[in-house]
Amino acid sequence: MNLKIAVLAGDGIGPEIIDQAIKVIDSVCRKKGHTTQYRKGLVGATAIDNTGNPYPEETHRICMESDAVLFGAIGDPRFDNDPRARVRPESGLLEMRKKLGLYANIRPVMTFPSLLHKSPLRKDLVEGADLVAIRELTGGIYFGKPQGRSEDGNTAYDTCVYHRYEIDRICRLAFDFAMKRRKKLTMVDKANVLATSRLWRETMQEIAPDYPDVELEYMFVDNAAMQIIQWPRRFDVLVTENMFGDILTDEASVITGSLGLLPSASIGLHTSVFEPIHGSYPQAAGKNIANPLATVLSAALMFEYAFNMKSEADLVRSAVEASMTEGVVTEDIDSSNATGTSEVGDWLAEWIEKQ
């Protein structure tokens, strides 16, 4: 099979971590008899510098003509402290999600036996934690209109908007995931305060009878934020709206002990995007110290969700587990005996070749 992959490395450490994922993809494909066709596109600050647009039309065309998108990271400190910047790198990410119809962000959160000691939570709390957070990605306060500031600049406003069809499709996807796992689904909202959350709950109650085998619970977001830390093993599949999902998935990421270990998939109407959950980490750019494992694990999700290649995905995950067991890891995991970014990629590719 020929895999057509759009490669959007982006900013900061993006190019470095993407390079390691490509090494792993190529190694798997050689072993399994697949071929790859990569097409590179500009996105984020790099795209602004070259085209003035954080998500150029040419990049969108490349994405639409590919089977999957492998994405690095977006963000540049030049834009962070400029409140009057007319265009920002992050707007490219929102534009990509909207144009590709990426309404669902899938974030697996699990612990690795060899890294339990790195979690800031006690071992007895996190050992065996294995959940999937499903975040609605194209609605809510990040996209709601009107949005802006008053003429005198002293008042700002954002609007949270959700339509029933947006809620219906993400909730049905969450039920489907729950059916393939432990058949437990938690919907997180703030229905005691927000009208949009009440629509979420109403829609979920209408859908639930179609999935009688799934145990469904509702939880307010403040309680969920507490329980993810207190008792992460209680969750199986969690579904929520855009902003709540953004916050909760970043919170849940600490369970593993490193942001550099968590992958994600964004799926929807057109080409799916696979990316690490961390940012562009500009302070580490070019230093060969960034952790590539989240990006490599995102490639595993790509094999599984975009190409329906479960054995290829499992081979990538086994390689990552082996690297951690053998201590072939970057400084965020082991500062006393760190391996460089590119060396981790080389080790993973070689390990796969030997299997």
How high is the pLDDT of residue 113? Answer: 82
Query: CB within 8 A of 81, min separation 6: which ones?
Result: none
pLDDT score, position 254: 84
Residue in 158, 250, 334, 346 annotated catalytic: 250
Whether pLDDT at 129 is above 80: yes
Q: Which of 80, 176, 222, 314 is catalytic?
A: 222
- Please check whether residues 238 and 328 belong to one and the same domain: no
Same domain, 88 and 196: no
pLDDT tops 80 at residue 28: yes
- Give the whole-angstrom CA distance, residue 166 versus residue 160: 13
Active-site annotation holder among 49, 246, 334, 346: 246
Read off the pLDDT of residues 166-185 as tens digits, 9 standing for 90 and up: 999 999 999 999 999 999 99
Say how many domains are in the chain: 2
174 shares a domain with 88: no
* 217 lies in some domain: yes
Q: DSSP label at 121? A: S
Phi, psi of 112 (to 5 degrees): -110, 130
Residues 193 and 128 in one domain: yes
DSSP-derived letter for residue 304 is I
Has residue 114 been placed in a domain? no
Kindly report the number of other CB atoms within 10 A of residue 230's CB atom. 10
User: What is the pLDDT at residue 111?
Assistant: 87
Residue 49 falls in the annotated catalytic set? no
Give per-residue pLDDT as tens, 235-260: 999 999 999 999 998 899 888 877 78
Q: What is the mean pLDDT of the chain?
A: 94
Q: Quick check: is 82 catalytic?
A: no
Q: Which helix (H) or strand (E) holds 4?
A: strand 2-10
pLDDT for residue 102 is more than 90: yes
Query: What's the rounded Cα separation, in Å, for the pair 312 and 304?
Result: 8
Which of 234, 256, 278 represents a domain boundary (last residue)? 256
In terms of Cα–Cα distance, which of 175, 183, 191 is closest to 215? 183
| Whole-number Å distance between alpha carbons of 56 and 63 | 11
Query: What DSSP character marks residue 302?
Result: I
Instruction: Based on the residue annotation, tell me whether 180 is a catalytic residue of this protein.
Output: no
In this structure, are 17 and 72 located in the same domain? yes
| Mean predicted confidence (pLDDT) in 326-344 | 94
pLDDT digits (tens, 9 = 90+) for 265-318: 999 999 999 999 889 999 999 999 999 999 999 999 999 999 999 999 999 999
Which residue among 142, 162, 211, 281 is the active-site one?
142
Instruction: Report whether 65 contacts 59 (CB < 8 A).
Output: no
User: Under a CB-based contact definition with an 8 Å cutoff, are residues 295 and 72 in contact?
Assistant: yes
48 assigned to some structural domain: yes
For residue 115, is it within any domain?
no
The residues, any chain, with a CB within 8 Å of residue 346's CB and separated by 6 or more, are 23
Q: Do 25 and 57 touch, CB atoms closer than 8 A?
A: no
Structure tokens at 330: 């970057």
Active site residue 222: yes
Q: Which domain holds residue 312?
A: 1-104+267-355
Q: Which two tokens stand for residue 340?
A: 């460089």
Q: Are 218 and 333 within one domain?
A: no
In the chain, how long is the greatest CA-to-CA distance?
65
- List pLDDT tens digits, range 65-84: 999 999 999 999 988 776 66
Is 190 catalytic? The answer is yes
Q: What is the pLDDT of residue 206?
A: 98
177 domain residue, yes or no = yes
Same domain, 240 and 154: yes
**In the listed set 237, 256, 275, which residue is the last one of a domain according to the structure?**
256
Which of 211, 236, 256 represents a domain boundary (last residue)? 256
Q: Are residues 150 and 176 in the same domain?
A: yes
Residue among 98, 99, 184, 190 flagged as catalytic: 190
Per the model's pLDDT, the better-predicted residue between 115 and 126 turns out to be: 126
Compute φ and ψ for 108, nearest 5 degrees: -70, 140
DSSP, collapsed to helix, strand or coil, labels residue 330 as coil
Phi then psi for 56, rounded to 5 degrees? -65, 155
CATH number of the domain where residue 95 is located: 3.40.718.10
Q: Are residues 251 and 300 in the same domain?
A: no
For residue 117, what pLDDT is reported? Answer: 81
